[in-house]
Amino acid sequence: MTALLATANEALNQRKERINPRWYPRYHLAPPAGWMNDPNGLSWFDGYYHAFYQHYPWQPVWGPMHWGHARSRDMVNWEHLPIALAPEGPEDKDGCFSGSAVVDGNKLALIYTGHKFDGEAKEENLYQVQCLATSTDGVHFERQGMVLDTPQGVHHFRDPKVWKEGESWYMVVGARVDDVGEVQLYRSQDLQHWQFASTLAQADDGMGYMWECPDLFPLDDKLVFMFSPQGIAAEGYNYRNLFQSGYMVGEWQDNHQFHVTHPFQEMDHGHDFYAPQSFITPDGRRVVIGWLSMWESPMPEQADGWAGMLTLPREVTLDADLRLRMNPVKELESLRGQLHVWPVSDLNNRTLMVEEQALALEVELSLDIARSQAEQYGIALGDGLRVFVDTQAQRLVLERRYPQHGLSGCRSVPLPANDVLDLRLFIDSSSVEIFVNHGEYTLSSRIYPEPDDRQLTLFSQNGHAIFNNGHAWPLAAK
Q: Any idea which residues carry the catalytic annotation?
A: 38
Name residues whose C-beta falls within 8 Å of residue 137's C-beta, 6 or more positions apart in sequence. Answer: 46
DSSP string, 263-286: EEEES--SS--EEEEEEE-TTS-E
In angstroms, how far is CA 228 from the centroid of its own chain? 11
| Integer angstrom CA distances of residue 38 from 75, 150, 156, 249, 285 | 17, 21, 17, 23, 21
CA atoms within 13 A on the CB side of 83: 32
DSSP string, 150-190: PPTT---EEEEEEEEETTEEEEEEEEEETTEEEEEEEEESS
Residues 175, 186, 206: CA angle, nearest 5 degrees: 30
Say whether 90 sits in a helix, a strand or coil. Answer: coil
First CA to last CA distance, the chain? 31
Give the Cβ contact number of residue 168 at 10 Å.
13
Residues 367 and 388: their CA atoms lie apart, in Å, by 10
Ramachandran assignment for 206, one of left (phi > 0), alpha (psi -120 to 50 degrees), beta (any other)? left
Residues 65 and 51: their CA atoms lie apart, in Å, by 16
